[in-house]
Structure 1
């Protein structure tokens, strides 16, 4: 009897502790129905404990709040996990709103099946309404936001975040890298930086068919330890697409800046830069470098007789023939100016350059374009050729001077071809000093 009396005293003592504790203690079954309530529920909600039994917490909440909290609690039950800090609005028996903070732990039977939850509710009405308002602002913010703990689990995530991740339902409790696998590339590194007190970088990354931007910030607990990261997100797909379009437009503009608008060939600017690069390469590897300068014979007379539009058409046709006459991808055909064209032949010696020059001349002649003002009766070109080996030959050290010198020699060879009767090729031997 003494033992039974002691047990009864202990149980009575426990009931008194629960009933007079400032927190309301409760137990619900696996369906969320109250099976026990301490008497503190009367002080909090105005209902006696027996009025709560068999009913669910959601029956004592406004309808919208019941739906919101019910959705959150369903996710908790599905994972059979403990929870804390679940803030919710409840209806007091007199009709006023009471804001509670709910925490609970699951309990199981011997077979491991979920029997229900045990927990407590605490009245936080003085601050709770403000917390709920802040949560509502957070949840309905247009900017996707989330909070992850040090294990990478989403503690919070608003609706915009769920929409960004194309996830149906709340994201809290999920692993961030399960929603966005690409975040694994930087999440652990950012947490390490946060622990070291270092600033955190922003991130841009491709995800599915879109581009996302993430701006993380370190979160600290009351002791100053890193508790996780707060991350603001943004869909920057439109911006990246605009940047790509701008890059492509700039690339095209750069191409136009190096392109002759009449013939579509490279222009004088590109020729000077390309020739400087080829001279530098030839200096390094000791290879030969050749130029062919072609000029349309009697072109002024052609222009005067046929008109400038016909003259432009003629130049375009000749440009096409010159392009077809060179076979290697690296051979570059440029419009030097007026009716003159230059072909840069990298790694080409005298014999090879003379062969290409003759092919250029023959391809234009084969066009068989009528030229009534020419003694030959058709459009032809004269071609001057020069070849140098910068490691051996007297090429100026200055790039601009070297370019000008080679072009001057090619022009001399072109003059020789014209002086010899036109529609022919002439080669200019290198002098002791290149002209500038």
Structure 2
């Protein structure tokens, strides 16, 4: 800094002095400039100073470039003119600094990327907060890598829980849901119902029309079954091969039969031609079972529930298929 008080920052200290004079704050010119100079010397980042009136006192070239402007165009402007809705956040920050907080860091987005924003208080001679310094560090490349990794992670997590052909939850995830919902229903004393669902004569469908058509058939059925379940918490998944399973929490046997009938109609409504079926189109057989239990002996009751649904499914097949049957035997 030469004898005129100029530094590597050019005329900006003079502009700060002028602006501080305008707002009647000359008393903190020296600590402000000292803090600013130290900040510029020690942190390789875009830097700015903001007064308590939420106006820019000074910014460096890197900071202004983030907003596609010049330092001269920013000094004296309200922060809210440059960053919409930023004034209220800055006022909250000032309150926290007045209460003794030393630094606030947050990730922010700007038009050209992602930044880590670090805000620190500048204190006057008597210890009061007279302004804020704001530093922006470009983390765009890091965030892009993080977002890409998150997408990969979500992709693998999805496929770990979902069937690759139909997109429905797979058996592992269905078992997890069954365990969680049975515990919840046991605690609340509410009923839990399950549907075991089998595509009628599916092996014959594949033999007559080929596996690609079979895969397309399963995808269409999966989408329609998912569409039938509209309550939050209801889940349908692919249990294996041409077998599906639906879990219906807070649903008694009557309600479960209603869902099963809707599924039968929905799949018949697809009108997928089946040359080897006596019905001429693809149909379902569904086993329906329900329970209300306490937490005691819960696992045994869950096994019993699944066994009842499986027995009901075989009863539906024995009754001619294209039907839903409950256990004890009740044809729907």
Mark yes or no: TM-score above 0.5: yes
1:279 alignment partner, one of 179, 182, 185: 182
2:70 alignment partner, one of 165, 168, 189: 168
Asked if 1:390 is matched to 2:293, the reply is yes
CA distance in 2, matches of 1:74, 1:364: 75
> Residue in 1 aligned with 2:258?
355
> Residue in 2 aligned with 1:425?
324
> Residue in 2 aligned with 1:145?
47
CA distance in 2, matches of 1:156, 1:251: 43
Q: In the superposition, relative to structure 1, how do residues 176 and 250 fare at CA in structure 2: closer, same or farther (>3 Å)? A: farther
Q: In the superposition, relative to structure 1, how do residues 135 and 381 fare at CA in structure 2: closer, same or farther (>3 Å)? A: closer
Q: CA deviation at 1:152?
A: 8.5
Asked if 1:183 is matched to 2:183, the reply is no
SS of residue in 1 equivalent to 2:298: coil
> Residue in 2 aligned with 1:407?
306
Q: In the superposition, relative to structure 1, how do residues 176 and 370 fare at CA in structure 2: closer, same or farther (>3 Å)? A: closer
Query: What's the RMSD between the two structures over aligned residues?
Result: 4.8
CA distance in 2, matches of 1:311, 1:322: 16
> Residue in 2 aligned with 1:159?
61
8 Å CA contact retained: 2:16, 2:58: no
8 Å CA contact retained: 2:103, 2:120: no
Q: CA deviation at 1:386?
A: 0.2
Aligned pairs for 1:96-111 within 5 A: none
Q: CA deviation at 1:224?
A: 10
8 Å CA contact retained: 1:290, 1:388: yes
SS of residue in 1 equivalent to 2:106: strand
Aligned pairs for 1:61-72 within 5 A: none
TM-score relative to the length of structure 1: 0.55
Q: CA deviation at 1:153?
A: 8.6
Could you report, residue by residue, the CA deviation over 1:33-75 in whole angstroms, capped at 9, with x for unpaired residues? xxxxxxxxxxxx9xxxxxxxxxxx9xxxxxxx89x86675466
CA distance in 1, matches of 2:156, 2:166: 17
Q: Which has the higher contact order (CA 8 A, sep 6+)?
A: 2
CA distance in 2, matches of 1:417, 1:370: 21
2:220 alignment partner, one of 302, 309, 317: 317
SS of residue in 2 equivalent to 1:390: coil
CA distance in 1, matches of 2:171, 2:200: 20
2:137 alignment partner, one of 234, 248, 262: 234
TM-score relative to the length of structure 2: 0.70
Q: In the superposition, relative to structure 1, how do residues 356 and 75 fare at CA in structure 2: closer, same or farther (>3 Å)? A: closer
Q: CA deviation at 1:251?
A: 4.0
SS of residue in 2 equivalent to 1:193: coil
Give structure 2 stretches of 5+ with no counterpart.
Answer: none
Give structure 1 stretches of 5+ with no counterpart.
Answer: 1-44, 46-56, 58-64, 86-130, 195-199, 431-436
Bigger radius of gyration: 1
Could you report, residue by residue, the CA deviation over 1:381-431 in whole angstroms, capped at 9, with x for unpaired residues? 22111011124xx97434xx655443222112112222333333221139x
Aligned pairs for 1:109-258 within 5 A: 138=40, 143-146=45-48, 157-164=59-66, 168-169=70-71, 181=87, 182-190=89-97, 192-193=99-100, 200-206=102-108, 209=111, 211-216=114-119, 232-236=135-139, 239-240=142-143, 243-244=146-147, 246-247=149-150, 250-258=153-161
Asked if 1:265 is matched to 2:265, the reply is no
8 Å CA contact retained: 2:285, 2:316: yes
